[in-house]
């Protein structure tokens, strides 16, 4: 049996943390069996390495290894992708298609982001785990498959079960053995090792000298929170390698590449709450502005109807004086008041002429409809603005942006396509 060190060298895994070594040992021990494995940990910790190790050390190593990102497949097509479909099963199904479970027969399937699976698909997956049987979409013929399933998620599965977003029986079938990968901030001694490895790789890639950190910069690197984990660390190392002329990086220089919002060593849960709170306040302000706009539009609509029906008489002016003041300003000069009254006096000509326009019920409906359309367009613009802002704040990571917006990643993906962002 291979050692942990040889596995690290074979799969390019860097680090000597005890929790990492324990995770690799569990993967090596479970590999020769056929039991299902659930890999847990935050996004960016390297969960995709574990199923590759399990497959390579198993008796299925000569079979197919298929990795599926469950969160990136639209809900309407995921059953077809996983289990295949018959010709004519739905619009666009012009021919019979094999799914991943049929293609991977005798091999291993890695279901990344398994917590994002729809409940209907979870039922189908449970059947495969229990007896190896599945049905193609649009077929009544049961098919058999012999696959090893390794799943991964960054979702709190017990919380998802309580919220009825994930089946409890499926969770226990998937997690026969659970392997947890610790976040990078808990592997402080590995952070600089990883940075040096990335710096060396980028030096070879871009044909330039490797960057080195001064001692104070190394200290900051180890204290930093690393919400994006290894993925974020690699991104920072690449930025510095490409942009900095001086190959010895000081503390001040490193600070300019680390987002200050995540630069503390506070627990991630607290930072997430602060982000949600900030975004919640912005939403409340936006809703208040929109409701105030709607109230003003309703007032203007009422004033317009009164002018069309009754003309600009003293009664109409008295009833709507507050709105008139809002339009022309409460602190207007006498001359400005005269101009305002003169402009308002032009309104009666509409109703006093012989063939004046008198709004009917249908006209009122269309008038309200036009106002509603304007409001809808405004909401759409604000929605686009909020989505852009959430993506910018999370460095383009759709999952984090969706969590901040309070919507699913699949919904955010649909919005991005809808607005062509």
Six-digit token pair at 219? 């200290």
**Cα distance between residue 70 and residue 167, in whole Å:** 16
pLDDT in tens, 276-295: 545 555 666 676 667 777 77
Please report, for residues 162, 299, 317, 346, 382, the alpha-carbon distance to residue 313 in angstroms, rounded to integers and kept in the order given: 64, 18, 6, 12, 40
pLDDT in tens, 228-251: 999 999 999 999 999 999 999 999
Residue 305 has pLDDT above 80, yes or no: no
Six-digit token pair at 343? 């402009």
Strands 148-153 and 142-144 come out as unpaired
pLDDT in tens, 315-357: 666 666 766 666 555 444 444 444 444 444 444 444 444 444 4
**25 three-state secondary structure:** helix
| Mean pLDDT, all residues of the chain | 82
**Cα distance between residue 51 and residue 38, in whole Å:** 9
pLDDT in tens, 129-142: 999 999 999 999 99
What pLDDT does residue 336 have? 47
* Domains annotated on the chain, with CATH: 4-182 (3.40.50.300), 186-262 (1.10.8.60), 269-419 (no CATH)
Residue 375's pLDDT band (boundaries 50, 70, 90)?
very low
What pLDDT does residue 376 have? 47
Six-digit token pair at 359? 């709004």
Q: Decide: 143 and 136 in contact? Cβ < 8 Å.
A: yes
Residue 37 has pLDDT above 60, yes or no: yes
pLDDT in tens, 71-119: 999 988 999 999 999 998 888 888 999 999 999 999 999 999 999 999 9
**360 three-state secondary structure:** coil
Residue 371's pLDDT band (boundaries 50, 70, 90)?
very low
What pLDDT does residue 284 have? 66
Six-digit token pair at 89? 């099963």
């Amino acid at each position: 049996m291979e050692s942990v060190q040889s596995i690290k060298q074979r799969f390019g895994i860097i680090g000597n943390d005890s929790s990492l070594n324990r995770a690799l040992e569990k993967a090596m021990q479970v590999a020769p069996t056929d039991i299902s494995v659930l890999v847990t940990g935050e996004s960016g910790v390297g969960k995709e390495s574990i199923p590759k190790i399990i497959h390579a050390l198993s008796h299925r190593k000569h079979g197919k290894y298929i990795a599926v990102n469950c969160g990136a497949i639209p809900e309407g097509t995921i059953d077809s992708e996983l289990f295949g479909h018959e010709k004519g099963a739905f619009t666009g199904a012009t021919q019979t298609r094999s799914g991943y479970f049929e293609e991977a027969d005798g091999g291993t399937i890695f279901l990344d982001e398994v917590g994002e699976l729809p409940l209907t698909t979870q039922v189908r997956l449970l059947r495969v785990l229990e007896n190896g049987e599945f049905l193609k979409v649009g077929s009544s013929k049961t098919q058999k498959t012999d696959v090893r399933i390794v799943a991964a998620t960054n979702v709190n599965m017990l919380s998802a079960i309580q919220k009825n977003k994930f089946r409890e029986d499926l969770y226990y079938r998937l997690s026969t053995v659970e392997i947890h990968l610790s976040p990078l901030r808990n592997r402080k001694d590995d952070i600089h090792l990883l940075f040096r490895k990335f710096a060396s790789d980028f030096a070879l890639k871009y044909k330039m000298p490797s960057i080195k950190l001064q001692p104070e910069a190394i200290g900051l690197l180890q204290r930093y929170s690393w919400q994006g984990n290894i993925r974020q660390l690699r991104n920072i190392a690449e930025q510095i390698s490409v942009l900095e002329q001086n190959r010895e990086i000081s503390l001040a220089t490193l600070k300019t590449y680390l987002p200050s919002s995540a630069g503390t060593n506070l627990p991630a849960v607290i930072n997430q709450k602060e982000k949600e709170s900030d975004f919640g306040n912005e939403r409340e302000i936006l809703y208040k502005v929109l409701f105030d706009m709607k109230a003003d539009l309703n007032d203007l609509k009422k004033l317009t109807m009164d002018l069309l029906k009754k003309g600009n008489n003293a009664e109409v002016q008295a009833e709507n004086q507050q709105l008139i003041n809002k339009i022309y300003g409460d602190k207007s000069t006498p001359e400005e008041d005269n101009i305002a009254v003169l402009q308002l006096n032009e309104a009666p000509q509409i109703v006093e002429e012989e063939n004046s326009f008198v709004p009917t019920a249908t006209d009122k409906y269309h008038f309200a409809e036009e106002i509603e359309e304007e409001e809808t367009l405004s909401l759409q613009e604000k929605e686009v603005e909020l989505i852009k802002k959430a993506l910018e704040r999370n460095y383009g990571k759709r999952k984090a942006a969706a969590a901040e917006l309070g919507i699913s990643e699949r919904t955010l993906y649909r919005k991005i396509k809808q607005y062509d962002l």
